[in-house]
Chains A and B, each alone.
Chain A
Amino acid sequence: MGYLNNSVVTVDAILTTKGRQALAQNDGSFRITQFSLADDEIDYTLYNPTHPSGSAFYGQAIENMPLLEAFPDETQIMKYKLTTLPRGTARMPILDVGYTNITIKQGASLAITPQTLNYLGGNQSEAAGYTATISDVRLVTTFEGVGIDNAATANLNASSTTTLGTSVSSTVVGTTINLRATTVNTLFGSQSQLNATLTIIGRDSGARIQVPITVTKVS
């Protein structure tokens, strides 16, 4: 007789920078309601479906690898989400935002309407919309998502550019993301441009794209 393995994996979590900010705001935004899983650090080319020792060894090079500790920067972790798709999916959803990088002048506006390729049999906009995260909210005076109408999204969009002058990320939800580059000259200091990243994730598909964003100083 053998014993069944009933072990539970236990892991210690850390708060992200965004989590600490939400906790400090004390406005109810620090309320964990959902989870997601990611496979950051995994290189699937190490998976070997032709391993001579058989299927038990296909993932040998991955399964015993040491993992790094969690990073508190929410834009640098949970990069590659695991997703739930119908069995038999041959092509993974891919996001197309129309840009590989974004350069926008100070005070200029831009609307981004992502599309998900290879999703539910075609290319389409996801019903649940997209989350867009800018790594430094100081670069924009307007950062909002439109097209998804519910109270949580409205609250998020209402406070998306609220900052105390520090470099924190901001996340909005929508089918279209509107942004307007900052008009504040002092942010630039002696530099002629400011840089950040815009990360867009399909809320249904989990597909992700990260686009560098550059704001250039006008005067």
Chain B
Amino acid sequence: MSFNQLVADDFVVSADSITAGLWTNSETPTITTFFTSSTQANGSSGNYYLNIFSNEATSSLEFAVTYGNQYGSGSELYNDTVDGLSYTSTIYGQYRSLVLGDENANFVFGGVTSSDFYVISVDRNRYKEGLFPGSTTLLVSGSDGVISLTDNSNAVASVEFNDAGRVFQLVSGSAGTLFSGFNNQGYSVASGSYGWFLPDIATYILNPRALGSVEADGGIGLIPVTASNSDDQNPARFFSAISSSNAASFTANSEETITSDFVFVRPRSSEYNYSSNPSFISGSTGEVLYSSFINNPTTYMTTVGLYNDTNELLAVAKLSRPLKKDFTKEALIRVKLDF
């Protein structure tokens, strides 16, 4: 007999979290150069967002930045006779629907309500399942200095959720360690947190009120221009704030859960001691190669095959070197199948 049935105890399912650098060059978790595409910026999509690249190649698309305003300020109106409907109000409504799931809800960053925000939306090709909490360090520059932002995932006792999954506050600090110089929670003095980190949709939403406050209050003076029916280029201003030579550093990791199926294969002492290998026999009559193999056969397993009920070979694993098997030996082989 050459097939052995597997029983329930032979199977173990395991889920492991795998993290990696987020950007195009995944070996380097930090990007320090930022480019835009004039083709994209001058196209129709440029009214809504700017694509950001880490080098001059279009294959290096890393994320997009945009600006949303509840009242449509900061961009031209779609129609001069319809007040409040503009590119920025569309962005605001888009993220309100995506993140809050309620058209009457507001964005409340660390206890302070904001009617506008900047957004960093990481390109889908950069991450596997989501972003890895506690890995972010984003430098943002303004007229009143530079601030380093991270998420507070390492500091919270319980995780908050909204319609976009897990929500962490963006706080002053780096690599998950908050800076409590202005506020013991890492927030600005009077304008709440610096935004939200939404790892499950790979998005950062930044609070312009906190970033726009003065240095003494934990801000950097990065204030969006919010004139009515005016193309104020707030995405470009935010791009300048993160690409400025004072800042120009964005670190983050992606996260993926790999589900593995472990199958434990247990050949017993009395099993698998003979082989159908042509070199195991001599001649055409099937006699074993050596007379010593009659009572003390020795085989060398190299391959494990996993089959279904109808003997179809579904998966196969090779050992790194032959494993000796005879009537005095048993083996325990753990076969790992990743999905």
Contacts and interface: CB of A to CB of B under 8 A. Distances in A.
Interface of A: 8-16, 18-19, 22, 29-45, 47, 49, 58-59, 62-72, 74, 77-78, 80-85, 87-94, 117-118, 128, 131, 152-153, 155-156, 171, 173, 201-208
A48 to B, nearest CB: 9
Given A44-B277, A82-B2, A155-B310, A32 B272 contact: no
B174 interface: no
Contact of B314 (A18, A45, A155): A18
Interface in B312-334: 312-325, 327, 331-334
A83 B336 contact: no
17 contacts: A9-B319, A9-B323, A9-B333, A9-B334, A11-B318, A11-B334, A11-B336, A18-B312, A33-B309, A35-B3, A35-B265, A64-B321, A74-B313, A77-B303, A84-B271, A92-B274, A131-B310
Contacts of A33: 5-6, 307-309
B312 A22 contact: yes
Given A59-B324, A92-B276, A204 B1 contact: yes
How large, as a class, is the contact surface on chain B? 35 or more
Contacts of B11: 32
Q: Is the interface of A mostly helix, strand, loop or mixed?
A: loop
A36 B317 CA distance: 11
A116 B270 CA distance: 22
A91 B107 CA distance: 80
Interface in B1-24: 1-6, 11
B315 A19 contact: yes
Contacts of A67: 302, 318-322
Contacts of B4: 34-36
Contact of B315 (A32, A94, A156, A203): A32
B287 to A, nearest CB: 5
A22 B321 contact: no
B303 A84 contact: no
Contacts of A117: 286
Interface in B205-260: none
Interface of B: 1-6, 11, 263, 265, 267, 270-281, 284-290, 292, 294-295, 297-325, 327, 331-338
Contact of A80 (B6, B278, B309, B314): B278
Nearest to B277: A80
B288 A83 contact: no
| Central interface residue in B263, B270, B275, B298, by most chain A CB within 10 Å | B275
Given A39-B301, A63-B324, A83-B2, A45 B277 contact: no
B316 A59 contact: no
Contacts of B303: 37-40, 70, 77-78
A92 B338 contact: no
B67 to A, nearest CB: 44
B280 A44 contact: yes
B2 A44 contact: no
Contacts of B294: 88-90
A142 B181 CA distance: 78
A82 B301 contact: yes
Nearest to B303: A38
Given A78-B313, A84-B272, A91-B286, A13 B306 contact: yes
A53 B275 CA distance: 26
B304 A37 contact: yes
Given A36-B4, A92-B280, A10 B305 contact: no
A11 B276 contact: no
Contacts of B308: 22, 29-34
Nearest to A43: B279
Contacts of B336: 10-13
A16 B1 contact: no
B274 A38 contact: no
Contacts of A8: 332-334
A158 to B, nearest CB: 11
B310 A39 contact: no
Nearest 9 pairs of A and B residues by beta carbon: A206-B2, A19-B314, A82-B272, A13-B317, A80-B277, A156-B310, A74-B313, A11-B317, A78-B305
A40 B302 contact: yes
Given A80-B277, A92-B281, A15 B315 contact: yes
A83 B274 contact: yes
B313 A18 contact: yes
A131 B305 CA distance: 15
A77 to B, nearest CB: 5
Contacts of A11: 304, 317-320, 333-336
Contacts of B287: 90-92
| Central interface residue in A9, A30, A59, by most chain B CB within 10 Å | A9
B117 to A, nearest CB: 42
A65 B302 CA distance: 10
Contacts of B284: 94
Contacts of A85: 273-274
